[in-house]
Chains A and B, each alone.
Chain A
Amino acid sequence: MSTEPVGTLVLDPIRCDGRGMCHDAAPGLIELDEWGYPLLPSGTLRAPIERSDMKAARDATHACPLLALHIER
């Protein structure tokens, strides 16, 4: 099933400094709020990720220089 989440994208808001590189790497998955901080699809710190979004989630995770994102399987 393509709608079945295969992992969870987790944001550590204390590490995050709002550099926006996750949004640059995965603009379709991560938006920036009006203050420049990442907004996951769930609107919270944990977002279930479907298989089709997994590459974007990985790109966003690798783009963060502060290691504020990770994927939980």
Chain B
Amino acid sequence: MTARLGLSTPPSLAAHHREFGRLPLVDARRGDRPGDLVDDVERAALRGRGGGWFPTHLKLRAVVDSSAARGPLSRSRRPVVIGNGMEGEPASGKDAALLTRSPHLVLDGISAAARTIGATDAFIAVHRGSPAVPSLEVALAERASSRIDPVTIRIVTPPARYVASEESALAHWVGDGEATPVFPDRPFQRGAAGRPTLVQNAETLAHLGLIARRGGAWFAEVGAPGAPGTTLVTVGGSVPNPGVVEVPTGTAVHEILARCGGPAGTVRGYLTGGYGGGWVAAGDFDQAAWDPDSVRAAGGVIGASVLWAIGELTCPLEELARVTAWMAGESAGQCGPCMFGLPSVAEDVRSLALRTADGVEFKQLQNRLRLITGRGGCKHPDGTARLVATALDAFPDEVALHLDRRCSVAGRRGTDPAGTLPVPPARLPGLDLRRRDFT
């Protein structure tokens, strides 16, 4: 078992330093340059764990370059770093686990990133009401009294809405108090209050905290070559012991499930990545390797590293209908194809789930999925369209049954409560995304 992220050590700063040692300082007298970490991160081939798996060194370099291109800047115009612990995906629990059990590793990552890009302001963003707030308050107080950070890291709590965790929305919140996505989305050039802004997922920052201590070559010793290291996976649904596990990337899906007690009964498919992810039929997906390229090749999306098993007593189309309706309500309400397209799609999926849709409505659904894709200011409509389209592809027999007014679990439903995907209370698109709504 490869456990690097300290999930089983106590969260205190003293225990953290015993486990990992101190974060090395950049010592100019020794010839260190703050930018050296970027090269190490490139050597590590670290890719962002928030969902996009974008190479982290490219983001770091983009902020450094756009800041340098502006020439000398006053302290209040220099770069900003934002740790993203929002965990917008309701089925994901990895960032909350990390921030409550190993907060200092994430904060070390923010500290190292701030030094690397020359940031003069640093934030950790967790959603309003997150269980991570109290543990972060304790951790930040410990750090303040031992003065280990180059800049003070502050907690920000944007509203707990799906689109609020998108990186341009986070920068928008920090700068202007509006948690809405921005178009075009280039926070590394113009982020919080127009300043070059680095937004990195909490888990990515924890890995960065380790790379700063142990180097890029060490990081890449384990895991899949294209996306090395370890990764947290939130396993849920039809397994006896759902929860968050840390595995090397490239670990087979069946091994990940085994860490959670193996599948409970027959699995008919998986939701991968989260609600902006994709469905796959069971088939031989449990042989697939859990890394971005392999999951994609097997028809899924690794995304925020959610692995949710759907048991045979759960109707995937009913699950899809609940989640799609919720995703429609999570639109920021800024772009027409999202604001109006997602409710239309959700209504079509609902008809399909309720077995009232006919072939004409099904065709309409397929057309609408194509119509809304690629036309939003952020990827919310695209993610939702993919969620629906992949379900239709993964469960063609269930779709055919429903169009024939039947369902594979009719009469047996309700005996598989573990298969129910979490759906928070529905809200109206665009509501409560602005700071002024909370004061």
Contacts and interface: CB of A to CB of B under 8 A. Distances in A.
Interface residues of B, number: 17
Contact of A13 (B183, B344, B370): B183
B335 A35 contact: no
A70 B375 CA distance: 16
A35 B337 contact: yes
A50 B371 CA distance: 23
Contact of B337 (A12, A13, A15, A17): A13
B261 interface: no
Interface in B297-326: none
Contacts of B209: none
B375 A44 contact: yes
Contacts of A44: 374-375
Nearest to A16: B336
B374 A13 contact: no
A41 interface: no
A8 to B, nearest CB: 13
B371 A33 contact: yes
Nearest to A32: B336
Interface in B307-360: 334-337, 340-341, 344
Interface residues of A, number: 16
B335 to A, nearest CB: 4
B168 to A, nearest CB: 10
A37 B337 contact: yes
Contact of B374 (A16, A17, A18, A43): A43
A1 interface: no
A33 B435 CA distance: 33
A37 B334 CA distance: 12
B206 to A, nearest CB: 33
Given A45-B374, A45-B375, A14 B340 contact: no
Interface in A17-55: 17-18, 33-37, 39, 43-45
A43 B194 CA distance: 30
A18 B334 CA distance: 11
Tell me the dominant secondary structure on chain A's binding face.
Answer: loop
A16 B370 CA distance: 20
B336 A35 contact: yes
A34 B341 CA distance: 9
Q: Which of A12, A37, A39 is packed against the most chain B CB atoms within 10 Å?
A: A37
Contact of B335 (A16, A34, A36, A39): A16
B288 to A, nearest CB: 30
Contacts of A45: 374-375
Contacts of A34: 344, 371
Contacts of B184: 12
A33 B183 CA distance: 21
B375 A13 contact: yes
B377 interface: yes
A17 B339 CA distance: 11
A17 B336 CA distance: 7
Contacts of A33: 336-337, 341, 371
Nearest to B338: A13
B378 to A, nearest CB: 9
B177 interface: no
B377 A13 contact: yes
The 5 closest A-B pairs by CB, nearest first: A37-B336, A35-B340, A13-B335, A44-B374, A14-B377
Interface of B: 181-184, 334-337, 340-341, 344, 370-371, 374-377
30 contacts: A12-B183, A12-B184, A13-B183, A13-B334, A13-B375, A13-B376, A14-B181, A14-B183, A14-B335, A14-B377, A15-B183, A16-B335, A16-B336, A17-B336, A18-B336, A33-B336, A33-B341, A33-B371, A34-B344, A34-B371, A35-B344, A37-B335, A37-B375, A39-B371, A39-B375, A43-B370, A43-B371, A43-B374, A43-B375, A45-B374
Given A13-B377, A37-B340, A45-B375, 11 more contacts: A14-B181, A14-B334, A16-B336, A33-B341, A34-B344, A34-B371, A35-B337, A36-B336, A37-B336, A43-B375, A44-B374
